[in-house]
């Protein structure tokens, strides 16, 4: 019997470890790998001439079947998020259309249950003869356990899928989505443990306890946990000035905790501790810890102790810091009692002035191809960050815990984004909150806001009737027909970088139709009721 053909898509820290495990030891698999970043592919080739020749044939996923000589038996997807999975599988030329029912598709990335169900549905619609077998199989254990073959795999699918000869080692939970649900809840625990571990050790350091003694004490007592023993060791090393190896980066828990908080909110189940932990990790990314190990989240606690007028570790050129609305790259396009919206734009190699954020913000990034920046944060130093087009982030800022930084655009693309400040809660109206809008995608949920995304292709239309206080920010240039083509309709140009505030309306909705050549893109920021503004 020929060796099963296995393709690993995504050869980062986790994917390369999985590839290495399946390529060695007692396993007999015919292996190939794919990654858009060529150095990752080069690492798996080594000195194997035959493998190098076959890998060289793969310019895109569509070429994999030719390199194998037939479709693979198993495709393992270990990429960053659901958007990357959908892009790889369904964007033209559609790789999913080449995969038959005999191929098992293992979704090992951490994605939301709803994303897993969507991918499964699209695969059955567009795959060859009904598409591949789908296995929802997120993993836990990190790069080390990926490389030594000891990952914990939370797998679920339909019973027929789990009988596939190459997936029998995985145990079923129930139907598609359950594995991702279990992984999401697991990551809630993991993220909260890391947050509480960093907080406890920062408190111990602040009051002058011996960190080594305290670390050993906790590990021998009821407050200890696997996460405290693992991350706590690295926290102590970092606090003592040692170099901390990057094993799991901070943004991983921004994504994972974001999934569980959003899914919980969508089902009406609150996750208050998960939300607070998420805000801690989000603040870490904003501080420039995006490339650091997640154990270094303790620096967020330390940064909170740096006052607005103190220097911290980072000294700006002349020591001056301006209010964000006065920073020249931040163009204020809307300002009222509830919000201030700024459209931020500056070119390649340009820098903002050092500026201060003292209000929670929704950030919508609109740089074509993404934007790579150097983020110099007071109290932390200079760190690199990358924002994808359409990425939405939530920044937690206040007068007592502000963000002070300066951003420099790297030589890839200019920076374009919205900064939607959340100043005050809207008037109380009562009634049930709007949790979904037809035709819109819910992309971010926080205590103060929900953010929806709408894309209209050419000729598509929708009826706008938002029964809540909201800001609409426009992410594209184009032309729309407002009110219908008959009976009082008019054409209106849309301009990227504009914003509008609106109160709820009970009147019949107004029809919007995209009559331009490009997509019509807007983000709707719903201001939720019931929270209190900082006094």
Under 8 Å between Cβ of 387 and 344: no
Under 8 Å between Cβ of 53 and 47: no
Q: Within 10 Å of residue 432's Cβ, how many Cβ atoms?
A: 5
Helix (H, G, I), strand (E, B) or coil at 383: strand
DSSP per-residue string spanning 422-476? E-SPPPP--SPPP---TT-EEEEE-SSEEEEEEEE-TT-EEEE---S-EEEEE--
Q: Which of 456, 475, 473, 439 is nearest to 517 (CA)?
A: 456
Under 8 Å between Cβ of 516 and 504: no
Q: In sequence order, which residues have a C-beta less than 8 Å from that of residue 407 and are 6 or more positions away?
A: 346, 351, 352, 373, 374, 375, 376, 415
What sign does the CA torsion over 82, 141, 139, 52 have? positive
Q: Which of 435, 372, 350, 358 is nearest to 404 (CA)?
A: 358
Q: How does DSSP classify residue 78?
A: -
Q: Rg of the Cα trace of the chain?
A: 25
Q: Catalytic residue at 183? A: yes
> Residue 227 belongs to what H/E stretch?
helix 226-239
Under 8 Å between Cβ of 4 and 73: yes
Residue linked to tokens 């501790």: 273
51, 57, 118, 183: the active-site residue: 183
Q: Within 10 Å of residue 469's Cβ, how many Cβ atoms?
A: 20
In a 10 Å sphere around its CB, with 0-12 CB exposed, 13-18 middle and 19+ buried, how is residue 115 labelled?
Answer: buried
The residues facing 404 across adjacent strands are: 356
Under 8 Å between Cβ of 327 and 422: no
For residue 458, give both structure tokens.
Answer: 């050419």
Give residue 268's region: left, alpha or beta (phi > 0; psi -120 to 50): left
Just list the catalytic residues. 183
């Amino acid at each position: 019997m020929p060796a099963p053909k296995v393709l690993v898509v995504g050869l980062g820290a986790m994917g390369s470890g999985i590839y290495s495990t399946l390529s060695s030891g007692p396993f007999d698999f015919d292996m190939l790998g794919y990654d858009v970043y060529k150095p990752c592919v080069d690492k798996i080739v080594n000195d194997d001439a035959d493998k190098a020749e076959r890998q060289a044939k793969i310019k895109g996923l569509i070429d994999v079947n030719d390199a194998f000589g037939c479709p693979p038996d198993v495709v393992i997807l270990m990429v960053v998020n659901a958007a990357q999975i959908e892009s790889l599988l369904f964007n033209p030329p559609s790789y999913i259309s080449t995969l038959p029912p005999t191929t098992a598709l293992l979704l090992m990335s951490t994605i939301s249950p709803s994303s897993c169900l969507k991918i499964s549905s699209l695969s059955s619609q567009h795959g060859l003869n009904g598409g591949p077998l789908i296995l929802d199989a997120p993993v836990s254990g990190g790069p080390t356990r990926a490389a030594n073959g000891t990952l914990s795999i939370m797998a679920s699918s339909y019973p027929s899928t789990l009988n596939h000869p190459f997936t029998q080692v995985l145990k079923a939970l129930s139907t598609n989505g359950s594995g991702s649900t279990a992984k999401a809840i697991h990551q809630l625990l993991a993220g909260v443990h890391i947050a509480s571990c960093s907080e406890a050790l920062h408190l111990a350091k602040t009051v002058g306890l011996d960190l080594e003694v305290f670390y050993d004490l906790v590990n021998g007592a009821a407050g200890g946990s696997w996460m405290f023993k693992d991350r706590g060791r690295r926290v102590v090393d970092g606090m003592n000035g040692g170099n901390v190896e990057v094993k799991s980066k901070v943004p991983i828990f921004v994504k994972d905790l974001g999934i569980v908080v959003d899914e919980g909110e969508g089902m009406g189940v609150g996750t208050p501790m998960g939300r607070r932990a998420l805000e801690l990790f989000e603040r870490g990314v904003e501080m420039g810890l995006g490339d650091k190990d997640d154990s270094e989240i303790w620096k967020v606690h330390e940064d909170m102790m740096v006052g607005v007028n103190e220097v911290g570790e980072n000294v700006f050129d002349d020591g001056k810091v301006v209010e964000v609305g006065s920073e020249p790259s931040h163009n204020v396009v809307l300002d009222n009692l509830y919000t201030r919206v700024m459209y931020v734009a500056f070119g390649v190699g340009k820098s903002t002035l050092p500026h201060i954020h003292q209000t929670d913000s929704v950030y919508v990034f609109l740089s074509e191809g993404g934007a790579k920046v150097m983020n110099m944060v007071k109290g932390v130093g200079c760190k690199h960050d990358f924002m994808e087009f359409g990425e939405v982030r939530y920044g937690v800022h206040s007068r007592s815990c502000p963000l002070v930084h300066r951003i420099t655009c790297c030589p890839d693309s200019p920076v374009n984004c919205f900064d939607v400040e959340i100043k005050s809660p809207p008037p109380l109206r009562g009634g049930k909150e709007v949790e979904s809008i037809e035709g819109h995608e819910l992309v971010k949920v926080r205590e103060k806001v929900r953010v929806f995304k709408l894309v209209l292709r050419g000729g598509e239309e929708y009826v706008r009737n938002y029964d809540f206080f909201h800001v609409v920010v426009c992410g594209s240039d184009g032309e729309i027909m407002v009110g219908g083509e008959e009976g009082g309709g008019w054409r209106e140009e849309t301009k990227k970088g504009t914003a509008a505030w609106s109160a709820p309306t009970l009147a019949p909705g107004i029809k919007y139709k995209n009559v331009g050549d490009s997509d019509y893109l807007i983000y709707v920021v719903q201001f939720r009721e019931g929270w209190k503004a900082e006094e």
